[in-house]
Structure 1
Amino acid sequence: MSLEQQIQKESERFQALFDRLSDAQWSDGALPEAQNYLITCKDHVRLAQENITEFNTAVEKEHKRLLDIKGHGVRHTWYKVRGKLEERLDEQEKTWLQEFEKCKEEEERLIVLQEEVRSAETYLHECQTAYDEYINTKRELDEILEDFFSGSTPSYPEEDVMEQDLKKQEEQLISLQNQHRLLTHVFQLLHKAHQAVMIARRALDDALNMNTFDLFSKSSFADIAVSSNLARARNASMQAQQFLNEAKRVSPNIPHIGQIFIRQDNLVFNIMFDNIWTDMSMRQTIHEALNRMCRADTFLLGILAGMKEQLERCEVDRDKKSKHVKCLATEHFIKRITIVQNIIKMPPPYSSEV
């Protein structure tokens, strides 16, 4: 069966799908607008509720002042002695009524805004329903078009060229998406490694401070604190090394950072034989570890900066390619639709019985 015969056979189904697609196409642009409008309406409701709370507080405050003036307290006596009680009562009552009216107006406005939210939700539901219909119909239409045009169509070489170009661009997009995911994963691993290195550096700084204290105090507490901070630094360095190893496994091109493992001496030995020599030996150990951590920190910052720049470029390329693929897919879809419509409009071939 030729392509033209196949299309003529499925013409009614195609036309029904095309009409459904045309009827629901408005939802493609209306849905995001409806979503944004609903968000705006809800923001207005939230602000109105905050205003009502603020106005209620002001109303209660002014009403309390009014009651204080009406009562027999200090304010009542003060204004009465000065002969301004009635005047002050009128002023305070006006102030209270003004705040009360503002609150009531905002409550009425809130009712209107809440109605707008309900209308916006209803409209959004309509848009979502129509959009779902649009997506499902387009998928069915894509399937029937793929049945028509899959493979080579010598009668329509332009469609073949567009199809091959679209497939090529889609493959490139998939490659960019995979590359972006890979770079993101590596960047996150390196970032975690850098955070662990920073923790190790802080722990080593604390260990060095306690070692300095130990040089002058000869306190076993200082030895314990040094050992504790070294253990914290060692654990952080091990975590950093694990993250680096994983990043290196995923992306072998990452430069080698070097050894960042931190050695820890025997705490019991240091306490039992605590003297200037053991303290100085520990100090040297801490300094060596700090130097390694500082080098690793600087090196990681450089790698992270380069990786971030590479990730941003990849993201730009991916987004650009994605837009290009969408445009090509739309053009290809329209091209196929046009071909099918032209074939359906063609008069049937003339035949005569002999």
Structure 2
Amino acid sequence: MESVQSKIQAAAPRNQELLQTLSETDYAKPALEQQKRYIADVEKEIRQLDTRLKELEQRRKKELKEHEKYRDSVMKRFAYKVSRKQEKFDVQAEKEEREYFEVLQEEHKANEMRKNLGNTLAEAQRQRSELEGAASNHDQAQRGLDELYDSIFEGPTPEFPEEDSKEYSANDALNQYHNMRVRVESETQVRNILDNALQKISIAKYALAEARSHSRMDMFGGGMMSDMMERNALSKGEVAFTEARMLVEQASRMSPEVHPLPQVNIAQGNLMSDVFFDNVFTDMQFHEKIKQSQFELERAVKDLQAQRLNADQRSTSLKQQLRQQSQGLESARVALQKVREDVFQNHAASQ
């Protein structure tokens, strides 16, 4: 019969190979769990946004009908003219046009956010695929190691209490490592999300600066073109800030240390005041609104920067703890391996 010692010697290269694979892929399973939660969160946001897009589509169609009814109704215009209520007709027509373009703009913003969320989901799914491969390699290595040890330790080993004790310590160290790894992966994900939020809020900051520049031109006679460019810049700013706010809310669901951004009210143009009653006084009033929006946005930028710094500090601290846990896990595995080798040697010597 083959001795335990000879079994140990024969299994040594394979044992080392499997332990190396386990060490290299220990991160995969907790990281995969975190990635799945992140994907589920993004998918939920997409479903909610898709529902909103359907509602906006119905509103747009409704407003378009009302807009076209007044725009194309010659008889209605004639009736108002005959009754000397032409001004009332024009006001109602302008109202329908304004409401249609407002919902059209809202739908455009939602579509932009939907496109960006789709890109985020695709990247998250790609990362999940990579983690699934690493986790599969880890599971295969663990099964191989279990089979290797089972081939040597068949059945209970009450005669080797030290081996059982070291095995318990190794399993406990693995659980602690796993829990810490989940926290590290979560904070790393939070930090990445906040990085994306900083990019979005920077876009919003630039857009508001652009809007303020166009607003300044408008006060000095920029006309319709300045109004349009001003509105376009404000719309970009609002979309970018909304995306930043959504990202921070997403991060807050993953870490209790993250809180929502302060309220920011992006100034919005008005069809009547910007076009039909446009003058230097309304331009100056709206210029002040844009400046107020910039002030509120700057406050949100500083808040987000502080949260990003805190997330980085938490991540650094947890990674240090993880390295300690990893060292503890490795020590526990080495101790377990050592005691098993000692058991094998003592058992072989007693034969």
Q: Cα distance, 1:329 vs. partner?
A: 0.4
Indicate conservation of the 8 Å contact 2:198/2:301, yes or no.
yes
- The amino acid of 1:141's aligned partner reads L
Deviations along 1:300-331, whole A, 9 cap, x unmatched? 11111111011011112212211221121022
Cα pair distance change 1:256/1:241, threshold 3 Å = closer
Partner residue in 1 for 2:343 = 339
For 1:213, which of 211, 217, 220 is the aligned residue?
A: 217
Shift of 1:143: 3.4
Q: Is structure 2 residue 231 aligned with structure 1 residue 227?
A: yes
Task: State the shift of 1:23 in Å.
Answer: 5.3
2: distance between equivalents of 1:321 and 1:284?
A: 55
Unaligned runs of 5+ in 2: 22-140
What residue in structure 2 maps to residue 200 of structure 1?
204
The letter of the residue matching 2:252 is K
Cα distance, 1:145–1:241 mapped onto 2, change above 3 Å? farther
Which residue is 1:302 aligned to? 306
Which is higher, the Rg of structure 1 or of structure 2?
A: 1
Hey, what's the Cα distance between the residues in 2 that align with 1:333 and 1:26? 10
* 1:270 matches 2:274: yes
Identity among equivalent positions (%) equals 22
Counterpart-to-counterpart distance in 2, 1:314 and 1:205: 38
Q: Distance in 1 between matches of 2:266 and 2:181?
A: 38
Question: For 1:143, which of 139, 150, 155 is the aligned residue?
Answer: 150
Deviation at 1:159, TM superposition (A): 2.3
Instruction: State the distance in 1 between where 2:238 and 2:218 align.
Output: 20
Tell me which amino acid in the other structure corresponds to 1:164. Y
CA distance in 1, matches of 2:10, 2:144: 7
1:238–1:261: 8 Å Cα contact kept in structure 2?
Answer: no
Bigger RCO of structures 1 and 2 (CA < 8 A, at least 6 apart): 2
| Alpha-carbon distance in 1 for matches of 2:346, 2:340 | 10
- Going from structure 1 to structure 2, the CA distance change for 1:30 and 1:146 (only over 3 Å counts) comes to closer
Q: With structure 1 as the length reference, what TM-score do the two structures score?
A: 0.58
Where does residue 12 of structure 1 map in the other structure?
2
> Which residue does the alignment assign to 1:177?
181
How does 1:316-335 map onto structure 2 within 5 Å?
316-335=320-339
Return the alpha-carbon distance in structure 1 between the equivalents of residues 172 and 286 of structure 2: 62
Report how many residues are paired.
Answer: 232
Kindly state the Cα deviation for residue 215 of structure 1 after the two structures are TM-superposed. 0.6
CA distance in 2, matches of 1:270, 1:218: 12
Structure 1's consecutive aligned runs of 4 or more residues displaced over 4 angstroms after TM superposition are 13-17, 23-31, 134-139, 145-149
Aligned residue in 2 for 1:101: none
How far 1:245 sits from its partner (Å)?
1.2
1:28-72 deviations in Å (ceiling 9; x for gaps): 9999xxxxxxxxxxxxxxxxxxxxxxxxxxxxxxxxxxxxxxxxx
Question: 1:223–1:267: 8 Å Cα contact kept in structure 2?
Answer: no
Write the letter of the residue equivalent to 1:142.
Y
Report the secondary structure of 2:298's partner residue.
Answer: helix
269-278 or 218-227, which deviates more: 269-278
1:245 matched to 2:249? The reply is yes
The alpha-carbon deviation at position 282 of structure 1 amounts to 1.5
- In structure 2, the residue matched to 1:281 is 285
For the 8 Å contact 1:18–1:141, the answer to whether it is kept is no
Does residue 21 of the first structure (1) align with residue 5 of the second (2)?
no
Change (3 A) 1:30 1:162: closer
Change (3 A) 1:314 1:29: closer
Unaligned runs of 5+ in 1: 1-10, 32-133, 348-354
Moved more, 157-166 or 181-190: 157-166
Q: Work out whether residues 224 and 267 of structure 1, in 8 Å CA contact, stay in contact via their aligned partners in 2.
A: no
Relative to 1, partners in 2 of residues 1:261 and 1:255: Cα closer, same or farther, differing over 3 Å?
Answer: same
Structure 1 216/30 Cα, relative in aligned 2: closer, same or farther at 3 Å?
A: closer
Q: Distance in 1 between matches of 2:19 and 2:329?
A: 19
